Amino acid sequence: MSINRRDFIRLGAVGTAGLAASASSCWSSQKELRIVIRGLCFIERRGNAIDVHVIDANQLAQTAHLLPHNSVLSVRTSDLQSATAPSLGMDEWDPTARSVYNLAGKPMVLDAGLSGAPNLNFDDGPIDETNGTIPGASDSAWASLKFGVRLKTICRLQQVTVDSSKITSKVTLEHGHLKAMRPVQPDGTPSLGTNTSWRFSDTGGQIVNQAMTNAFLYTVSTSSSTATFNIGTQNVVVKLPSEVWIRNLPSRNAPDTCANGATACADHLAAYYAIIGVTTPPTLVATPQGPQSPGIEPNYCPPGI
């Protein structure tokens, strides 16, 4: 079956079938909030908290040869309690069940009824970074955040300075848990990420050779019956339990090509290199370890620093 590049990142586009297969078969709490993070975003750790940065693709369109992107908060309509933020309409990735809200140029603050010092914890388990071994099919096999792109690691940097002028939105998450997700197609079946290894190298040789995921999952339990996303001066309130998506992707029907004509690539990483000032980025080579379809790229694997 031929699938296009967007299918690789379209987790749960039919209901939440893809997400359920990639995360958990049931809610771990009656008042759990789940946030799926994907697209042109990256995670910056600050002790026991993270900043989720949403990149301004328009500013980097020439540098990184990016298509126009849509930075949105996607909410299942049945989970919506109220909203002062205007909806942009139904979500093109799930047009029967979700609506989207614009994040471009707007800071976002999450209020899930929690307080106290930040205590976010992370899945940081070891992975095979040398041989490109593909994890098993279980969700737990893909949980480590190392399956994302570690910018400091692949660029051999001790410190990273982020050009905040290239960030169009940001939300800070201080409680709960952050993990990677098993890459799946919309119906939950394996996708490109489950059979491709990715080798980063530079003049010093191989840096890492690993599998890569295409989304991170944030979960937090709360005693509150709702969670509020304050977007600029407006808000979106969701009933709990709920699952929302922070997404920064091109339109669903955007051209599906790699710049060099390859069947798999991660061209979007050029945007991250520009934001952290890397002028000589590592070389990335994709090695198929299973069936491939021309034109698919694992674009929008979420980096972290």
| pLDDT digits 0-9 by tens, 9-49 | 332 222 333 343 344 434 444 699 999 998 899 999 999 99
Cβ(247)–Cβ(74) below 8 Å? yes
Which class for 47: exposed (0-12), middle (13-18), buried (19 or more C-beta within 10 A)?
exposed
Q: What is the pLDDT of residues 245-299, one digit of tens each?
A: 999 988 877 776 777 777 777 888 999 999 999 999 999 998 888 766 544 444 5
pLDDT in tens, 20-31: 334 443 444 469
Q: Report the alpha-carbon distance of residue 194 to residue 138 in Å, rounded.
A: 11
Pairing of strands 98-102, 177-180: unpaired
Give the pLDDT confidence score for residue 75 in this predicted structure. 96
Computed over every residue of the chain, the mean pLDDT equals: 84
CA distance 146 to 15: 28
Parallel/antiparallel/unpaired status of strands 32-39 and 242-249:
parallel
Give the percent of the chain with pLDDT over 90. Answer: 57
DSSP result, 101-124? EE-TT--EEEE-S--SS---EE--
pLDDT confidence of residue 191: 67
Give strand ranges (E) for 213-278.
216-221, 226-231, 234-239, 242-249
Q: How far apart are CA 18 and CA 10, in angstroms?
A: 8
Boundaries of every domain in the chain: 5-304
Q: Using the CB atoms, write b or e for 152-173: b if 16+ within 10 Å.
A: ebbbeeeebebeeebbbbbbbb
What pLDDT is attached to residue 7? 36
How far is Cα 248 from Cα 260, in angstroms, rounded to an integer? 23
Residue 186: pLDDT over 80: no
| Cα–Cα distance, 227 to 221 (Å, whole number) | 11
What is the model's pLDDT at position 27? 45
- What is the Cα–Cα distance from 231 to 105, expressed in whole angstroms? 10
**Per-residue pLDDT at 193:** 78
Residue 147 has what pLDDT? 94
- Per 3-state DSSP, the chain is made up of helix, strand and coil in percentages (nearest 5) of 10, 35, 50
Q: How many whole angstroms separate alpha carbon 195 and alpha carbon 94?
A: 26
Q: Whole-prediction pTM value?
A: 0.88
Cα angle: 169, vertex 172, 62; to 5 degrees: 30
Residue 118, preceding peptide bond in cis (omega within 30° of 0): no
For the stretch 114-171, pLDDT in tens is: 999 999 999 999 999 999 999 988 889 999 999 999 999 999 998 888 899 999 999 9
The pairing of strands 283-288 and 196-202 is antiparallel
Instruction: Give yes or no for residue 240 having a pLDDT over 80.
Output: yes
